[in-house]
């Protein structure tokens, strides 16, 4: 059968008689039959035809031909049902088809949610391993995640989805949100889309539900991030994480964020069987929140990643990105968000509404501002190779020692020691780095036990048969002030290796990460990387006062 010619003949018939319902019915029947031959093309035809059906429905309603309008309305619904198991946009329209507009979630918001739906579609099609979504609160991100979970559960009921969030109230909303679509009676069309994926078991205590069959790892399990995971949960359909940070108070506490990330990275992520996609949603409170850290980790692992972070007010136009009509009134208007901006602190509005971590405006060394290099200058040797070391003052501090090759005013950071191990580890590491990089002079900060650290490094160098001028210097200036004053010179004159030149998991990478996330606003637990560079910059500043000149001997 030549499906293409049949399609052209039916389309010609529709053009001759735009209100001939039988021709539209024939076209839809052709799409259904063609699906077994060419799946994608058949659904492309179905999508293209849907707009014509919608227009015919509108004309029938305007002419008050209600019988014909009812037939076109039924055909439009069947067209959506045909695509719903395979296309998230179709599913969202089909599952709440026929409900009053003010009772619908998707249709009023479709104009701004469609970009997220398209990203979820790529997850469904196996084109994405990781999706990160951030938007203002109450804009629909969680409800969209619940709908996607329901779609996956109906399509693959024998697989499992794990939905994780912070706190019992949020987790309970996931559970009830899924049941709202699946548990009968209701006015949703889940079972018109997936007639075989019947609900066979629920458990409100552990927040689980099973479709089609009862299983040890249920079709959907909703768990709090802090709850016990071992032996109870597994994700083969989807690992969905939403609102992993309780709020601004937790976001301001770096130690709590570190603890939260330790739980997520060490336990929750391990629930996803290899190949299972991960979706994380939430507000971008902090540079150190789980969303940012998971984004970074997925990039390191080479996962196919998409990050969607949409501000409430467009940075260029200052207009709302989320306005829609609810109960006949516009909500999330430009004025609403501008009023929020006036009422809240700049920091709070930036994070909760604009998806800008509260530290972002206070970053002293933004990653995009760093000078990078692929190779050292090839036309000459460095003027000198020197180092500056910020020895660890407390048990959780890092020993940070950048090593610089000097070419005139340009400072190339060729190596670093960056380790929070005990001194018995970092002392030999410093000595080895000084020798291997042929450092001629090294300055060690002598506050606390720095003098003893420098002395021991010198002794190790002597035992290695290498000579380096080591000296100590006590610093009395305020650390934050020292870093602030050195920042301009560091950004202008210092050059760091291009990321392709070092491993993502290496001391150099850890050093750069701490540097680019150092902020002048708010307290940070570690500032060893920027402080060691400030020490180095101060050393170089003192060197610039001396001038070496070659002249003829006078005797």
Angle value at C-alpha 309, between 305 and 311, nearest 5 degrees:
170
Sign of CA dihedral 282, 284, 289, 294: positive
Helix (H) or strand (E) holding 425: helix 423-436
Under the banding of pLDDT at 50, 70 and 90, the label for residue 522 is: low
- Strand 410-419 and strand 399-407: pairing? antiparallel
Angle between helices 21-34 and 39-62 (to 10 degrees): 160
> pLDDT per residue over 11-47, tens digit each?
999 999 999 999 999 999 999 999 999 999 999 999 9
> pLDDT per residue over 369-394, tens digit each?
999 999 999 888 999 999 999 987 66
Token pair belonging to 73: 């309305």
Angle value at C-alpha 433, between 432 and 437, nearest 5 degrees:
120
At residue 523, the pLDDT reads 55
Q: Are 181 and 150 in contact (CB under 8 A)?
A: yes
3 state DSSP class of 205: coil
Q: Are 263 and 225 in contact (CB under 8 A)?
A: yes
β-bridge mates for residue 17, sequence order: none
At residue 336, the pLDDT reads 97
C-alpha span between 483 and 475 (Å, rounded):
12
Q: What integer best gives the mean pLDDT of the chain?
A: 91
C-alpha span between 520 and 524 (Å, rounded):
9
Which position has the higher pLDDT, 449 or 180? 180
3 state DSSP class of 551: coil
Q: Are 416 and 402 in contact (CB under 8 A)?
A: yes
Token pair belonging to 530: 């920027």
C-alpha span between 453 and 273 (Å, rounded):
46
């Amino acid at each position: 059968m030549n499906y293409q010619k049949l399609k052209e003949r039916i389309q010609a018939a529709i053009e001759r008689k735009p209100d001939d319902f039988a021709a539209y019915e024939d076209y839809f029947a052709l799409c259904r039959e063609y699906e077994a031959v060419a799946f994608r093309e058949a659904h492309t035809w179905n999508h293209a035809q849907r707009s014509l059906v919608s227009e015919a429905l509108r004309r029938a309603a305007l002419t008050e031909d209600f019988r014909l309008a009812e037939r076109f309305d039924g055909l439009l619904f069947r067209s959506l049902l045909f695509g719903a198991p395979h296309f998230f946009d179709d599913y969202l329209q089909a599952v709440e088809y026929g409900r009053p507009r003010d009772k619908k979630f998707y249709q009023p918001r479709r104009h701004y949610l469609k970009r997220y739906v398209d990203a979820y579609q790529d997850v469904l099609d196996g084109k994405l391993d990781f999706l990160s979504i951030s938007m203002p609160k109450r804009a629909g991100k969680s409800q969209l995640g619940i709908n996607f979970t329901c779609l996956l559960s109906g399509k693959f009921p024998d697989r499992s989805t794990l939905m994780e969030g912070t706190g019992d109230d949020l987790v309970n909303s996931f559970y009830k949100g899924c049941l709202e679509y699946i548990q009968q009676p209701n006015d949703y069309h889940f079972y018109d889309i997936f007639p075989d994926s019947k609900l066979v078991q629920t458990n409100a205590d552990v927040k689980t539900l099973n479709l089609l069959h009862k299983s040890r790892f249920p079709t959907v399990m909703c768990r709090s991030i802090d709850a016990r995971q071992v032996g109870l949960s597994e994700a083969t359909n989807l690992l969905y994480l939403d609102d992993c940070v309780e709020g601004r108070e937790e976001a301001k506490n770096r130690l709590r964020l570190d603890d939260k990330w330790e739980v997520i990275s060490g336990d929750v992520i391990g629930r996803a069987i290899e190949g299972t996609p991960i979706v994380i949603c939430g507000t971008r409170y902090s540079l150190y929140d789980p969303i940012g850290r998971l984004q970074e980790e997925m990039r390191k692992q080479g996962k196919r990643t998409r990050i969607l972070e949409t501000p409430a007010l467009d940075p260029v136009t200052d207009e709302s990105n989320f306005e829609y009509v609810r109960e006949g009134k516009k909500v999330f208007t430009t004025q609403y968000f501008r009023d929020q901006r006036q009422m809240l602190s700049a920091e709070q509005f930036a994070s909760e509404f604009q998806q800008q971590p509260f530290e972002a405006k206070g970053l002293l060394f933004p990653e995009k501002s760093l000078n990078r290099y692929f190779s050292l200058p090839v036309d000459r040797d460095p003027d000198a190779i020197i180092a500056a070391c910020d020895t660890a003052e407390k048990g959780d501090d890092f020993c940070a020692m950048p090593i610089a090759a000097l070419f005139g005013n340009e400072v190339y950071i060729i190596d670093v020691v960056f380790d929070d191990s005990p001194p018995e580890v970092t002392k030999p590491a410093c000595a080895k780095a000084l020798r291997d990089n042929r450092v001629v002079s090294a300055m060690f900060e002598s506050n606390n036990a720095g003098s003893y650290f420098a002395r021991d490094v010198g002794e190790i160098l002597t035992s290695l048969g290498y000579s380096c001028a080591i000296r100590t210097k006590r610093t009395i200036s305020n650390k934050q002030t020292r870093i602030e004053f050195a920042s301009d010179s560091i950004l202008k004159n210092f050059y760091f290796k291009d990321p392709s030149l070092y491993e993502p998991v290496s001391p150099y990478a850890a050093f750069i990460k701490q540097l680019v996330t150092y902020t002048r606003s708010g307290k940070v637990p570690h500032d060893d990387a920027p402080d060691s560079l400030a020490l180095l910059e101060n050393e170089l500043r003192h060197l610039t006062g001396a001038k070496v000149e070659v002249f003829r001997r006078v005797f």
